[in-house]
C-alpha cells in the first residue's frame, strides 16, 4: 500500500500536458470485441486500463501494451467477464453489448455498487432486451443471449446514462437494421467512442446529441484510433491552482469540453485565458469567491469535477452551495475535508461550504477516485503536511499525478504506507 505525503502552501508554476481520457479509453477498448482487432494510441497508463486489458485477455483476446499504445487481437473468445475482475471495475459492464452483438451470448457479472452509489445497470438491460436479447440474472451474473443477430430498435432512455448509451451504441453497430437511442448521453467520451467505431466502418449519426441513429452492419473492420485527452484531469489541474495558487498552462485537451467548469472557476475569480482550442493559462490572483454548482449530465457541470471544485471552494471567501444530482452518495470526501478544517454541512444531496482562511494538513483517507483527487488538491493548499492514504483509488484514473504536480512545483511524494489497509 502507498500514500501521498504533501507539504502544502507552495504555488504551482509551469506547463502540464494532459493524458488520454480514462472514460474514453475504456469503452473503446471494449469495442475491440466488435471489430476483433484494435490499435489505440494516447491510452493512459491507469489501473482501470490494465483491468480492462486483463478482462479482454481472460475472454481470449491477445493484448499488447507499449507506452501509450494498446493492440488487441481476437483469438479464441469465451464471452464471459468474471466476478473477480468485474468487482474491481464497474465499467466492465461495457463488455455486455459488444459480446451480445458479436457472439450472440454473454455472461457478465453484475457490477456491484461502489462508494459513490448503487449504480444499477437496469437501463442497459432494458435497452438490450428491446434489441431482442433474452436476459436473466442468476447467481450475480447477467446471462444474456439472442437468437441470430440483435435487432435495431427505437430506444428511449429514462436517464441519459453514459455507460448505458455506450453499451447500446456498441450493440447497435452490429445489429440488424436501424437503432435510435433517444435521451442519449452527450458526453464527449461518447463522441470519441463513436469516432473510433466509425474508423472501423460503423454507420453512426447524432453522437454528442440526445438522439443517436445507428445503421447496423454485418461486421466492422479493425479499429485504429487515438483517444481524446482527459478533460477531467485538465479540470483537476484547474482545481489545484485554484487551491494552491500560482500560474500554470494546461495543454493538449479540448477546451470546449470543459466549458462549464472553466466558466464556474472564472465566476469564482480564477483568471483563465484560452490561448488556443487545446490550451489554457490559469492564474490565481487572490482569494476566490464562493460559487454555487449543480452537477448535471453533459454539457452541465460534470459530477466527476464536483469533489475537486468543492476542495477549491473550502478556502474561497463566503458560501458555496454544491448540489450533486447524478450520484446519490458522492460526498465521501466531505468527512475527510472536514478533518482538514473545512466548514461543510451536508443537507441531502447538497453541501453548503463556508469558506475558511486556510485548511490544515491532516492524515486523510481516499474512498473513491475523485474524492482522492479532491484530498490531494486540498493538501496542496493546506498548512503543514497532508498524508493521503489508499491512493490506489487515485491510480485508477490519474496517470503519474504526483510527478506532474511535482513538475509544477508541488512538494508531494508517493511513499509506502505504514497502514496495511
Site string for ligand EPZ, 268-297 (x = CB under 6 A): ------------------------------
Task: Kindly indicate which of the ranges 114-122, 239-247, 309-317, 398-406 contains the residues binding ligand EPZ, using the contact rule CB under 6 A.
Answer: 114-122
Task: List strand residue ranges (DSSP E) for 2-92, in order.
Answer: 2-7, 12-17, 37-41, 61-66, 69-74, 80-81
With binding defined as CB under 6 A, does residue 5 bind ligand EPZ?
no
Residues 6+ apart with CB under 8 A from 108: 80, 81, 86, 92, 93, 95, 96, 99, 141, 142, 144
The residue of the chain with the least Cβ separation from ligand EPZ equals 163
Does residue 369 interact with ligand EPZ by CB under 6 A?
Answer: yes
Pick the closer one to ligand EPZ by CB: 10 or 396. 396
Contact call for residues 212 and 175 (beta carbons, < 8 A): no
Cα torsion angle, 9, 13, 16, 21, sign? positive
Taking the least distance from each CB to ligand EPZ, the nearer of 389 and 398 is 398
Site for ligand EPZ in 25-54 (CB under 6 A): 26
CB 28, min distance to ligand EPZ, A: 11
Write the interaction track for ligand EPZ spanning residues 204-233; mark x where CB under 6 A is met and - where it is not: ------------------------------
Q: 324: which DSSP letter?
A: -
Residues in region 116-175 near ligand EPZ by CB under 6 A: 117-124, 159, 161-164
- Please state, in angstroms and rounded to a whole number, the distance separating the CA atoms of residues 216 and 174: 5
Binding of ligand EPZ at residue 327 (CB under 6 A)? yes
Closest CA to 352 of 374, 320, 313, 308: 320
Task: Say how far apart CA 127 and CA 132 lie, in whole Å.
Answer: 9
**Three cell numbers, residue 22:** 480514462
Region binding ligand EPZ by CB under 6 A among candidate stretches 35-43, 112-120, 141-149, 411-419: 112-120
Total residues contacting ligand EPZ by CB under 6 A comes to 25
Residue 374 contacts ligand EPZ per CB under 6 A: no
Catalytic residue, chosen from 2, 9, 83, 114, is 114
**Measured from the CB atom, is 3 or 370 closer to ligand EPZ?**
370
Identify which of residues 119 and 287 has a Cβ nearer to ligand EPZ in the complex: 119
177 phi, psi to nearest 5 deg: 95, -165
Q: Which residue from 5, 8, 18, 23 is in contact with ligand EPZ, where contact means CB under 6 A?
A: 23
What would the grid cell of residue 142 be? 447477467
How is residue 394 annotated by DSSP? H
Beta-strand relationship, 319-323 and 363-365: unpaired
- CA atoms 162, 163, 166, 168: torsion sign: negative
CB-nearer residue toward ligand EPZ: 5 or 116: 116
Contact 60, 76 (CB under 8 A): yes
Q: Is 114 a catalytic residue?
A: yes
Comparison of 162 and 169: residue with beta carbon closer to ligand EPZ:
162
Contact between 357 and 395 (Cβ < 8 Å): no
**Residues marked as catalytic:** 114
Amino acid at each position: 500500500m502507498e500514500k501521498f505525503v504533501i507539504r502544502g502552501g507552495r504555488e504551482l508554476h509551469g506547463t502540464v500536458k494532459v493524458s488520454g481520457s480514462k472514460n474514453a479509453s475504456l469503452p473503446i477498448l471494449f469495442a475491440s470485441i466488435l471489430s476483433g482487432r484494435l490499435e489505440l494510441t494516447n491510452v493512459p497508463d491507469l489501473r482501470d486500463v490494465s483491468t480492462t486489458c486483463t478482462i479482454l485477455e481472460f475472454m481470449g483476446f491477445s493484448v499488447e501494451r507499449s507506452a501509450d499504445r494498446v493492440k488487441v487481437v481476437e483469438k479464441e473468445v469465451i464471452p464471459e467477464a468474471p466476478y473477480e475482475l468485474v468487482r474491481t471495475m464497474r465499467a466492465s459492464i461495457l463488455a455486455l453489448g459488444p459480446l451480445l452483438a458479436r457472439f450472440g451470448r454473454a455472461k457478465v457479472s453484475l457490477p456491484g455498487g461502489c462508494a459513490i452509489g448503487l449504480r444499477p445497470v437496469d437501463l442497459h438491460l432494458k435497452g438490450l432486451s428491446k434489441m431482442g436479447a433474452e436476459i436473466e440474472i442468476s447467481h450475480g451474473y447477467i446471462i444474456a443471449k439472442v437468437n441470430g443477430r440483435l435487432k435495431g430498435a427505437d430506444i428511449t432512455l429514462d436517464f441519459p446514462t453514459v455507460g448505458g448509451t455506450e453499451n447500446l451504441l456498441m450493440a447497435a453497430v452490429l445489429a440488424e437494421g436501424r437503432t435510435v437511442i433517444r435521451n442519449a448521453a452527450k458526453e464527449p467520451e461518447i463522441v470519441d467512442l463513436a469516432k473510433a467505431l466509425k474508423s472501423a466502418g460503423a454507420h453512426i449519426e447524432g453522437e454528442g446529441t440526445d438522439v443517436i441513429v445507428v445503421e447496423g452492419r454485418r461486421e466492422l473492420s479493425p479499429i485504429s484510433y487515438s483517444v481524446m485527452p482527459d478533460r477531467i484531469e485538465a479540470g483537476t489541474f484547474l482545481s489545484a491552482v485554484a487551491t494552491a495558487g500560482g500560474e500554470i498552462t494546461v495543454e493538449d485537451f479540448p477546451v470546449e469540453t470543459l466549458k462549464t467548469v472553466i466558466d464556474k472557476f472564472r465566476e469564482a475569480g480564477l483568471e483563465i485565458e484560452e490561448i488556443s482550442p487545446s490550451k489554457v493559462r490559469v492564474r490565481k490572483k487572490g482569494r476566490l469567491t464562493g460559487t454555487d454548482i449543480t452537477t448535471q449530465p453533459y454539457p452541465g457541470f460534470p459530477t466527476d469535477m464536483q469533489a475537486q471544485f468543492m476542495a477549491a471552494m473550502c478556502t474561497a471567501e463566503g458560501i458555496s452551495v454544491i448540489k450533486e444530482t447524478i450520484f446519490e452518495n458522492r460526498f465521501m470526501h466531505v468527512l475527510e475535508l472536514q478533518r482538514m478544517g473545512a466548514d461543510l454541512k451536508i443537507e441531502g444531496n447538497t453541501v453548503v461550504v463556508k469558506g475558511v482562511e486556510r485548511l490544515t494538513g491532516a492524515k486523510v483517507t481516499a474512498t473513491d477516485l475523485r474524492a482522492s483527487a479532491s484530498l490531494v488538491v486540498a493538501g496542496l493548499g493546506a498548512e503543514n503536511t497532508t498524508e493521503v492514504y489508499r491512493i490506489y483509488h487515485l491510480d485508477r484514473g490519474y496517470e503519474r499525478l504526483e510527478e506532474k504536480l511535482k513538475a509544477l512545483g508541488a512538494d508531494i511524494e508517493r511513499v509506502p504506507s505504514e497502514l496495511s489497509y
